[in-house]
Amino acid sequence: MKRIRRIWPQLFPSSPPLTEANVPDQTGKVIIVTGSTSGIGYELVRILYQAGGTVYMVSRNEAKAEIAIKRITEAVNKAIQKKKVTTKPGIIKFLQVDFSDLKNIKPFVEDFLKAESRLDILYNNAGVANVPSSERTAQGFEVHMGTNVVAPYVLTRLLSPILISTAQDPSTQPNSVRVVWSSSMLVDVLVPPEGVPPQELENPNKDQHHNYAVSKAANWFLAVRFAKLLGPKGVISLTQNPGNILSPIFDAAPRVTFWLTKPVLLKPVEGAYTMLWAGLSPDITVEDGGKYVIPRGRWHPKPREELLNAIKDKEEDGLGLAQILEEWCEMKTRQFR
């Protein structure tokens, strides 16, 4: 019964509080969306650009990004001509990075810092799924852990100074600077009680679906750790499950998995609505750091108690596994920061 209460509102979510129809004006804001040439990230870029933001489309494929940017700008311009959109659009900029190789991340951040003096929202959206467990990143990490967890850890660490300076700028609205991590409903149904088993950091499981689910739990764990680090300085860090989305991430999934889940799959734009709420809702404050958002924009009603215990520090009578993950990421990535 507890499991049903956890997953039911994620499979059949309530109406979204924030959409392109009522998103606040984003003029003056600078936003990074990783993994954004298709799927949820693409729709999120479209909505934020339409609302006036300066949005960085971050991807490893420049050709795909150029096509995506052209499609978005043409669609928004057409909507303006038909008076379906009354806001003045912002600007979309492209920066290239391949998260399967950590040495690419620092140059990416340096290029961003040359161009911008503020960063209002970092959406850690990029990720891979259903990749064979035999595959490794350039640094030898299991590919889900390396791409979905270690890479955004490095990115967030390197961008933390500009996030903090933006939050502390007198012109910045309090509670508006955020880091949004991406999780999955699999955290509620597939990951072990420890969430991120420490022994698997060096000796990954051979089940690729297990590894993907653990990487999504790890995103939540890091969201909590960065909330502790950045929250006192005015930056909110939280995680969200955008929903079971029909997106290119299913390209590598077994066909039976796709067809069994298709009846409850949401459109990519519905996943973007979840991320909009996590990134823009005025009801979210630094006190909410580390919390978990579910589709299409509400707090998780019943997170797994064993995972909450795994996340808590030992000083808080928890297992301290989120801290172990953070320390492991810190140790493994020092040379890339």
Catalytic residues: 212, 216
d(Cα 198, Cα 182) in Å, to the nearest integer? Answer: 21
What residues form DSSP beta bridges with 31? 55, 121
DSSP-assigned letter for residue 190: T
106: closest CA among 141, 114, 62?
Answer: 114
d(Cα 240, Cα 304) in Å, to the nearest integer? Answer: 15
Angle ∠(159,163,169) on CA atoms, nearest 5: 145
d(Cα 105, Cα 151) in Å, to the nearest integer? Answer: 8
CA dihedral 319, 322, 324, 326 (to 10 degrees): -170
d(Cα 259, Cα 265) in Å, to the nearest integer? Answer: 10
Angle ∠(65,70,75) on CA atoms, nearest 5: 130
2: closest CA among 264, 306, 262, 274?
Answer: 306
Q: Which residues of 32-49 are buried (b: 16+ CB within 10 A; e: fewer)?
A: bbbbbbbbbbbbbbbbbb
d(Cα 149, Cα 196) in Å, to the nearest integer? Answer: 11
CA dihedral 275, 235, 286, 4 (to 10 degrees): 30
CB 150 within 8 Å of CB 136: no
d(Cα 255, Cα 156) in Å, to the nearest integer? Answer: 34
